[in-house]
Amino acid sequence: MTQPGAPGPHASDGVAVAAERRWAVLVGIVIALLVAMMIFTGLHWASMPPSRVETVDVRTLHLRGEFVESNLGTTLGSDGKVTVRLIAQQYSFLPQCIVVPAEMPVTFRATATDTIHGFVVGKTNANTMLIPGFVATFTTSFRQTGEQLMPCHEYCGTGHEAMWGRVQVLPPAEFLAKARSAGGLACVPR
Ligand code: CUA
């Protein structure tokens, strides 16, 4: 029952339509902003979503195949390609310290053994999520030499904030000399 003097059904319809339109415009602006950010980071920072899915068996990870302990760390292939293999587990990276060259393409291949982890190397675009059962891989190159911290950036349990590794970025000549030396590319004494 309509009270005398109260706005009729048509007047309240108008208010509702105006409110909906304001929200539609606001959401449109937010979507446009997110798309613009994706285009900007894609073009300016060369970041991109993962392009393929590669799986690995978590149960046999440490027993055989690519991610056995002796195969982790940095390798310089006979074709000159630099590959870093690492695994993440509660609450450490294996290896804890990684040696890479500056100004050369470096391919990371990594996975997790127990739960979701992730890492980012300093302020570079070397950044990925690590999911048990999947191999995360990307290729990047480091512009600056020096040591960078590599923290886990996915909450993985009570020890998450203490989970981090180190990355030593060496000048290319020094890296190549170290790769060919007897000591190999380890940066922590074993
Ligand atoms: Cu591993 Cu957080």
Highest mean pLDDT among 5-19, 101-115, 176-190: 101-115
pLDDT tens by residue, 131-155: 999 999 999 999 999 999 999 999 9
Q: Which atom of ligand 1 is nearest to the CA of 116?
A: 1
Q: Which atom of ligand 1 is nearest to the CA of 153?
A: 2
- Lowest-confidence pick of 40-44, 106-110, 132-136, 182-186: 182-186
Q: What pLDDT shows up at residue 3?
A: 56
DSSP string spanning 123-185?
TSS-EEEE-TTEEEEEEE-B-S-EEEEEE--S--STTGGG-EEEEEEE-HHHHHHHHHSTTTT
Q: What is the pTM of this model?
A: 0.72
Could you name the CATH architecture of 54-180?
A: Sandwich (2.60)
Q: Is the per-residue pLDDT at 128 higher than 90?
A: yes
pLDDT tens by residue, 50-96: 566 788 999 998 888 899 998 899 999 888 899 999 999 999 999 99
Tell me the domain boundaries of the chain. 7-48, 54-180
- The structure tokens listed for 17 are 């339509």
Q: How far is the CA of 18 from the centre of ligand 1 (A)?
A: 46
List the residue whose alpha carbon is closest to atom 1 of ligand 1: 117
Q: How many angstroms separate the CA atoms of 148 and 121, rounded?
A: 6
